[in-house]
């Protein structure tokens, strides 16, 4: 089973950028998409986007288009999410989550996130 370790909490000023890392250890899979989901204080879950196993393809929710970049270093099994032009509304816990082999990969379904990181708190103030 894969485990995800995320970078530590960060505090940023409005207008700045933040980059959060997510390192996978254990059994990594060729089918392993990495998703990023955020949760503002006291609020629900919001999907930010995802990156494919090779790092060549990304998909972002329209709300973050132009402001977010997801990358992946396959040599170190580390994924990154950079969010630019931060606003106070971006204050949230940012989770990375991975898809596994047994939750839809066989039919090309890569949205089921069966391993989650502990979350990284980003505060914009």
- Which tokens in the block code for residue 113? 């996130």
Contact between 8 and another protein by CB under 8 A: the answer reads no
CA pair distance 52, 92, nearest whole angstrom: 24
Smallest gap, in angstroms, from Cβ of residue 13 to another protein?
A: 27
Does residue 45 touch another protein according to CB under 8 A?
Answer: yes
Q: Give the whole-angstrom CA distance, residue 70 versus residue 77.
A: 14
53 binds another protein (CB under 8 A): no
- 99: exposed, middle or buried (C-beta count within 10 Å: 0-12, 13-18, 19+)? buried
Instruction: Tell whether residue 111 is a contact of another protein (CB under 8 A).
Output: yes
Pull the structure tokens for residue 71: 């990358």
Residue 121 beta carbon to another protein: minimum distance, rounded to whole angstroms: 13
Q: Are strands 120-124 and 10-12 parallel, antiparallel or unpaired?
A: parallel
For 30-50, the three-class secondary structure string (H helix, E strand, C coil) is CCCCEEEEEECCCCCCEEEEE
Per CB under 8 A, 25 contacts another protein: no
Shortest distance, position 65 Cβ to another protein, whole Å: 13
Site membership for another protein, residue 104 (CB under 8 A):
yes
The single residue among 94, 95, 120, 122 that binds another protein, judged by CB under 8 A, is: 95
Site for another protein, rule CB under 8 A = 35, 37, 44-47, 49-50, 59, 61-62, 95, 97, 102-104, 107-109, 111-114, 116-119
């Amino acid at each position: 089973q894969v485990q995800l370790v995320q970078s530590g909490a960060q505090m940023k000023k409005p207008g700045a950028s933040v980059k959060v890392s997510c390192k996978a250890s254990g059994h990594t899979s060729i089918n392993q998409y990495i998703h990023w989901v955020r949760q503002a204080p006291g609020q629900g879950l919001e999907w930010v986007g995802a990156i494919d196993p090779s790092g060549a393809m990304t998909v972002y929710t329209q709300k973050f288009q132009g402001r977010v970049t997801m990358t992946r270093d396959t040599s170190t099994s580390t994924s990154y999410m950079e969010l630019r032009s931060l606003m106070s509304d971006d204050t949230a816990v940012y989770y990375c989550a991975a898809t596994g082999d047994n939750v839809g990969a066989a039919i090309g379904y890569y949205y089921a996130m069966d391993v989650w990181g502990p979350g990284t708190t980003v505060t914009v103030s």
